[in-house]
């Protein structure tokens, strides 16, 4: 979709795992927020429900998919919604959806990123361990 055809949406009616505003240090040479900043925040946001479900430390084992749908700008308020979508023996897979709220004088919400990541439950020695029953 081109920039002038961005479809405004509503924020999901649930609590975000993370909400943060990128700073000028987070931009790429073109002036948009650097994709690696968004990836780091997505990893942090996804780890929160994974950690709660695992009831122990977790490590990211895979980024299964990652789509940057729209650029993010300095001053956008960026919300990361993370939800466990499947649980295996030692792994937990989480969907993360990212929305930007722009232009406080004329507010608009845009979905900017979708990602799916898998985390592995770890024991205190860093070895994989079974996810406990829910
Ligand atoms: C996480 C880690 C302990 C897993 O050990 P491992 O012996 O490779 O584990 P396995 O291959 O048995 O996989 C463990 C689980 O992860 C899943 N998994 C592994 N690779 C995967 C992939 N590419 N995509 C999706 N799931 C994957 C497996 O299906 C398994 O899930 P299950 O037990 O629910 O069936 C090990 O790979 C590790 O330490 N990785 C580094 C983690 C890290 O540092 N992350 C931070 C990023 S810098």
pTM of the model: 0.95
Question: 28-62, pLDDT tens digit by residue?
Answer: 999 999 999 999 999 999 999 999 999 999 999 99
In CATH, which superfamily holds the domain spanning 18-121? Answer: Hotdog Thioesterase (3.10.129.10)
What is the Cα–Cα distance from 11 to 29, expressed in whole angstroms?
29
Nearest CA among 59, 110, 109, 51 for reference residue 82:
51
Distances (CA, A) of 59 to 38, 44, 54, 62, 107: 18, 11, 11, 9, 36
* DSSP characters over 66-95: EEE-S---TT-EEEEEEEEEEE-SSEEEEE
Tell me the CA–centroid distance for residue 122 and ligand 1, in Å.
10
| Residue scoring higher pLDDT (73 or 4) | 73
| For ligand 1, atom 6: residue with the closest CA | 128
- pLDDT score of 2 more than 70: no
Alpha carbon of 91 to those of 20, 31, 97: distances in Å?
A: 27, 37, 20
Return the structure tokens found at 50: 């994974």
Query: What are the residues whose beta carbons fall under 8 Å from the beta carbon of 134, sequence distance 6 or more?
Result: 53, 87
- 53-112 pLDDT, tens digit each: 999 999 999 999 999 999 999 999 999 999 999 999 999 999 999 999 999 899 899 999
120 C-alpha vs ligand 1 centroid, how far in Å? 6
* pLDDT score for 4: 58
Average pLDDT over residues 12-34: 96
Q: Give residue limits of the domains in the chain.
A: 18-121
Q: Whose CA is nearest to atom 37 of ligand 1?
A: 61
φ and ψ at residue 51, rounded to 5 degrees = -65, -45
């Amino acid at each position: 979709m081109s920039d002038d055809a961005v479809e405004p949406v509503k924020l999901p009616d649930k609590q975000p795992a993370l909400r943060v505003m990128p700073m000028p240090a987070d931009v790429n040479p073109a002036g948009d927020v650097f994709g690696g900043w968004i990836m780091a925040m997505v990893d942090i946001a996804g780890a929160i429900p994974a950690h709660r479900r695992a009831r122990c430390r977790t490590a990211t084992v895979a980024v299964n998919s990652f789509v940057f749908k729209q650029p993010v700008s300095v001053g956008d308020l960026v919300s990361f919604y993370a939800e466990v979508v499947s649980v295996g023996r030692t792994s937990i897979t989480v969907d993360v959806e990212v929305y930007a709220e722009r232009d406080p004088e004329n507010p608009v919400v845009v979905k900017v990123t979708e990602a799916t990541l898998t985390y592995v439950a770890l024991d205190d020695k860093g070895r994989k361990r079974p996810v406990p029953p829910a």
